Amino acid sequence: MKPVLKSIRLALTSFLILWPLSSLGAAPKVTVVDGQFHTPSGAIPAGCFVQMKPQLNGDELIASVIIEVEGKSGCKNAKHPYPEPLQDPKAGPPSYSVLATLPEQVYQIKACEGVSGSMGKSCSDLLVQFSERSFGGRKALVVSHRGRGSALTSFDPKARVAEIREHYQAVAGNTKLKTKRIKSDCTNPGLTGEEPYGGRETLYRMVNGQVAEITDEISTLYGHESVQFLLMDGEIWFAFIQIRNESIPAMGIEFGYDTDNRLYFQKENLFLCKLTYPSDAPDGIRAGQNTEVPCSELHHIHGTGSPNEEQRVAEVSSFSDSIDVLLAHGKKLLDNAKANTHTGHGDWCKEGGSF
Amino acid sequence: MKSIQMTMQHTLRIHLVVYALLLLFVSTPAFASDPPKAEVWLHKGSKVPLIVNDQAIPPLHTSKGPISPSCLGMMLGILPEQRDQMIGSVFIQDNKGRGCFRANDQEGIVRFDHVEYEVVEVEENNTYKLKFHALEWTGVAVEDFVIPTYKLMVRFERQPYTLEDNTVVQALVAVNLGKW
């Protein structure tokens, strides 16, 4: 057990030192790549956004556009993502640029329609919000026109990441801070006496009397997993999940890929996800490379494995099967610390190592 | 000369078909006894358009008047030859821009030459099952007018809309819930 915990601590320390600050993405399902919105199946045509723009005659009718219905129909796959009557035949195509990223999947964009003549184009600043809803009984990704505000306080993801990083460096692994550690060893007296076969250890690190870091580590016969929460005033800012497995090649047992998962939150809304395969990695991915990914693609955090079950995929997390469950797990641990009760912690062994 | 004749023939056919549609509505009235006075309601309790001075009055009304068929019809798809359903919702009013009631061109991107709707069922939460009767130019190999019927479920709801001065108003929006 101790070597396992040591290795996790070493990894966490490495993470602290090597935390990269690369390009930034957007909320689940939709990412910003080269200044354009993408879903997992590719770029969203500009026309899908520009048709919500106020027309030159002042009309403003379209309140939302269906981007995809379960990845198929919708504006993204339409013959004409931009309605032909809106397109001036002598003018350039519609275009847009992302001006600002705001919380809750809201973006401020500049949407431009082509206009013939010297004007060239007509642009408007729009607030657009991505969401999912039911359409004809199927799940649809929708972008809604939320207005034309221009002076909102922008959410700057880079600044937010820098803020999280600064807090992390001050707190995570800081041995000068007051800590509390709860540890449970699971034993199986029926088979090999009291020999431990796994366990769980939870560490709380305090800043000014408040919990600022929680690390929950579990170990079983099949591997181990840790989740580290970074908190500020009771709010989860960041989560780092490491999933490791004990493959047994001699027995032909090969588990899923080990992963490191970095989840960044703004007001407990996930806005950035990064994934690393620390040892071996799927084809086309370099092991050890920390890569920004659409949060929806972290299937192993969402409890669904991978859509393609034929391939070897990332091992599924034991802690969570959704981001909501992950946040709830962090809140439960925080509540335990506040109430100084850790009964659930000891029960973990009795429950056979599951939540 | 030929094009003028064709235009006149088309115009005549449009009027005949629309008149037939409206007669069909009037011949199957369905009146409710107590029309609800919510944000959207059935005008005089009728689920079908009422004919007043040869004009069809759409059945769904707000405080600003009847909700136009063209406005809701946008959600059925737009343009001849383009039946992609991608309009997720339409501004009806109160967005301070030009919702349906203040639009200069309500029919700009509607694919129909003429469209009317009737309410088939009033559901909970301001949700309505609508049936559209349209007059549509096929625009394909055999070019002709057709009179298709479309079913659409629509929910009316208030959604936040931020004005340029960053004050937030609640716009009335018709949300496309798909076919029923």
Facing B91 at nearest CB: one of A60, A78, A135: A60
Which of chain A's residues have a Cβ under 8 Å away from the Cβ of B104? 57-59
Distance from CA of B23 to the nearest CA of A (A): 30
Which of chain A's residues have a Cβ under 8 Å away from the Cβ of B94? none
What pLDDT does B130 receive? 95
Percentage of the residues of chain A whose pLDDT score is greater than 70? 79
Q: Which of these ranges, A80-94, A175-189, B104-118, B153-167, has the smallest mean pLDDT?
A: B104-118
Dihedral (Cα; B105, B110, B115, B121), 10-degree rounding: -110
The amino acid sitting at A352 is G
Beta strand pairing status for A62-69 and B87-93? antiparallel
What pLDDT does B149 receive? 86
Facing A149 at nearest CB: one of B74, B79, B162: B162
In tens, the pLDDT along A298-341 reads: 888 877 665 555 677 888 888 888 888 899 899 989 998 888 88
Mutation test of the interface with chain B: which of A61, A128, A145, choosing the one with the most B Cβ atoms within 10 A?
A: A61
In tens, the pLDDT along A298-308 reads: 888 877 665 55
Under 8 Å CB-to-CB from A90, ≥6 apart: which residues? A116
A62 touching B, CB under 8 A? yes
Facing B71 at nearest CB: one of A61, A64, A137: A61
Q: What is the pLDDT confidence band of residue A184, given thresholds at 50, 70 and 90?
A: confident
Which of chain A's residues have a Cβ under 8 Å away from the Cβ of B163? 147-149
Facing A73 at nearest CB: one of B85, B99, B108: B85
Q: Which candidate, A99, A98, A92, A126, places its Cα nearest to that of A33?
A: A98
The reply to whether residue A142 touches residue B88, judged by beta carbons under 8 angstroms, is: yes
End-to-end CA distance of chain A: 20
Facing A63 at nearest CB: one of B162, B164, B173: B173
Facing B97 at nearest CB: one of A54, A83, A84: A54
**How many angstroms separate the Cα of A245 from the Cα of each of A216, A256, A289, B156?**
17, 7, 19, 51
Q: Which of these ranges, A26-30, A155-159, B19-23, has the smallest mean pLDDT?
A: B19-23
Which of chain A's residues have a Cβ under 8 Å away from the Cβ of B103? 59, 61
Please compute, for residue A167, the number of CA atoms within 13 A of its CA located in the half-sphere on the CB side: 23
Rounded to an integer, the average pLDDT of A250-274 is 84
Strand order across the beta sheet in which A196-207 lies: A179-187, A196-207, A210-220, A223-232, A235-245, A259-266, A269-276, A291-292
For B164, the closest chain A residue by CA position comes to: A149
Question: What is the spatial distance between Cα A353 and Cα B18, in angstroms, rounded to a whole number?
Answer: 70
Residue B43, by phi and psi: left (phi above 0), alpha (psi -120 to 50) or beta?
beta
Residues of chain B in Cβ contact (below 8 Å) with chain A: 71, 74, 78-79, 81-82, 84-91, 95, 97-100, 103-106, 108-109, 159-166, 168, 171, 173-179
Which of chain A's residues have a Cβ under 8 Å away from the Cβ of B112? none
The answer, yes or no, to whether residue A132 has pLDDT greater than 60, is yes
Distance from CA of A140 to the nearest CA of B (A): 10
The reply to whether residue A147 touches residue B100, judged by beta carbons under 8 angstroms, is: no
Tokens 């200044």 — which residue?
Answer: A35
What is the residue-averaged pLDDT of chain A?
80
Whether the CB-CB separation of A213 and A229 falls below 8 Å is answered with yes
